[in-house]
Amino acid sequence: MKDKKNLTTEINPEIRDILIEMGAEDIYKCYQCGKCTSVCPWFQVEICDYPVYKFSLETALGAVASSEDKKELEEEIDLIYRCVGCEACLEQCPHGISTPNILRAARRLLVDFGSYPETLKSIVQKTHNVGNPFGEQRENRADWAKGLNVPDFQQGMEYLYFPCCLPAYETRNQKVAQATVGILQKCEVSFGILGVKETCCGEVIRRIGAENIFEEVTKANIKEFKDSDVKKVLVTSPHCFTTFKNEYPEFGADFEVLHITQFLSKLIDEGKIKPKKEFNKKVVYHDPCTLGRKNNIYEEPRNILKNIPGLEFLEVENFNRSLSLCCGAGSGGLWLEWEKDERIVNVRLKQLMDTGADIIAVACPYCLQMFEETLKSMSTDIRVMDVAEILYETI
């Protein structure tokens, strides 16, 4: 039996006010209905008990990240960093409360104290030092484009193609960037890349709570874009997309950003891309949270796939569009290890495989990476492909 003192929560207005200042301003809207909790992806992980609905009230009490007991604090850090930021809760909350933002406030506090998971500390450091979370060398950033005749971005070009760190360095994801430039070249789009001058958009470090470093990275990127006279950016990652579109303007950014599926869907509608080769596969589309729920882009990727001859398009029943389930990689989740029976990705993959599809189509490098890694340990023939890769195969 715990001693009574530890069970008593004292209201801590100081911590509460700091958390509100750091972005937890929604807490007073909560009426404790609990809808957030049963729509959270962790609800579908059998052995996991993740009490999302408690965070607003606990924050209002100032009882978040305030424990002086080391073990208790560790357990709390585990809860605070468990959130994958998918916003399924926000999507259904009757009062529009963003629990990811409340938890991000707590994360900022923990980052300030230096009390956050070591793996995440390391990716914040690496992004700060070499411009990507993997600690890869800056001079290798454009290696994926070797031999593809991809020009460096120059004044007068219409688009900057910004592939994100995963497609820049990770071998499987590099194929997506390669397919994407393949399509752009075929359609004679005027574009270039920043190459070795490119730096991570900073999305994940902001989600982790390292606000100061995020600001530093952001300001440097904005300056780089301005100096290079970038007006329109095409991105592969929904995470770059949302950061550029919805968060960079806070810091003075002034450029247009398009997700590659928006761009390609438009080219198809305008008749500038005509998928010709048959793609005789059953394809299920997985809505990335950051593309769908956060940015309302549901139809464009579907439009691309549905225009491909021979392709049989499938949906995940009950869990598509705004009700899609996260792959588990968001808000730092890609770098956190959970026990095998405690992973969101397994639940999502089961839903996707139950459709009977041959191919899982994604439109996000995180989802691709998460699914690929997990499928390696499964005996299944199902494959994961980016929408751009599928399209590239058919033109």
Partner 1 sequence: MKKIGVFVCHCGRNISSTVNINEVVEEIKKYPGVAFCTDYTYMCSDPGQDLVKKSIKEKKLDGIVIAACSPSLHELTFRNTAEKAGLNPYLTEVANIREQCSWVHKDIKEATPKAISIIESIIEKTKLNESLSPVKVKVNPKALVIGGGIAGIQASLDIANSGHKVILVEKSPSIGGHMAQLSETFPTLDCSQCILTPKMVEISQHENISLFVYSELEEISGSVGNFKIKIRKKASYVDNSKCTGCGVCSEKCPVSVDSEFDEGLGKRKAIYSPFPQAVPNKPVIDKENCTYFLKDGKCGVCKIVCTLNAIDFDQKDEIIEEEVGAIVVATGYELYPMENMIEYGAGKYPDVINGLQFERLLSASGPTQGEIHRPSDNKIPKRIAFISCVGSRDPEHHLPYCSKICCMYMVKHALLYKEHIPDGEAIVFSIDIRTSGKDYEEFFTRAKEEGNILYIRGKPARIIKQGDDLVVWCINTLTGKQLRVKCDMIVLSMSMISSSGALELAKALRIHTNDFGFFTEAHPKLRPVESLVPGFYLAGTAQGPKDIPDTVSQASGAAAKVMTLFSSDEISHSPIIASVDEDLCSGCGICIAACPYDAREMDERKKIVAVNEILCEGCGACISACPSGASQQRNLTNIQIDNMISVLLRSNTEQPV
Rule CB under 8 A: say whether 101 interacts with partner 1: no
Rule CB under 8 A: say whether 28 interacts with partner 1: no
Rule CB under 8 A: say whether 96 interacts with partner 1: yes
**362 in helix, strand or coil?**
strand
Q: Is 265 left (phi over 0), alpha (psi -120 to 50) or beta?
A: alpha
Q: x/- string (CB under 8 A) for partner 1, residues 305-334? A: -------------x---xx-----------
Nearest to 331 by CA among 56, 133, 100: 100
Pairing status of strand 232-235 against strand 256-259: parallel
Interatomic CA distance for residues 52 and 85, integer angstroms:
12
Q: Under a CB-based contact definition with an 8 Å cutoff, are residues 290 and 301 in contact?
A: no
Q: Under a CB-based contact definition with an 8 Å cutoff, are residues 364 and 239 in contact?
A: yes
Interatomic CA distance for residues 180 and 193, integer angstroms:
12
Handedness of CA 164, 391, 331, 293 (dihedral sign): positive
Nearer to partner 1, 37 or 290 (CB): 37
Q: Which amino acid appears at position 162 of this protein?
A: F
Rule CB under 8 A: say whether 35 interacts with partner 1: yes
Nearer to partner 1, 354 or 373 (CB): 354
Rule CB under 8 A: say whether 236 interacts with partner 1: no
Which positions from 127 through 166 interact with partner 1, judged by CB under 8 A?
A: none
Neighbours of 122 (CB within 10 A): 13
Residue 36 CB, nearest approach to partner 1 (Å): 8
Nearer to partner 1, 94 or 135 (CB): 94
Rule CB under 8 A: say whether 34 interacts with partner 1: yes
Among 13, 94, 135, 309, binds partner 1 (CB under 8 A): 94
Q: Which amino acid appears at position 386 of this protein?
A: D
Rule CB under 8 A: say whether 92 interacts with partner 1: yes
- Kind plus residue range of the DSSP H or E element containing 394: helix 387-394
Among 33, 148, 220, 378, binds partner 1 (CB under 8 A): 33
Q: x/- string (CB under 8 A) for partner 1, residues 39-68? A: x---x-----x-x-xx--------------
Nearer to partner 1, 92 or 212 (CB): 92
Name the site residues for partner 1 (rule: CB under 8 A): 31-39, 43, 49, 51, 53-54, 92-96, 318, 322-323
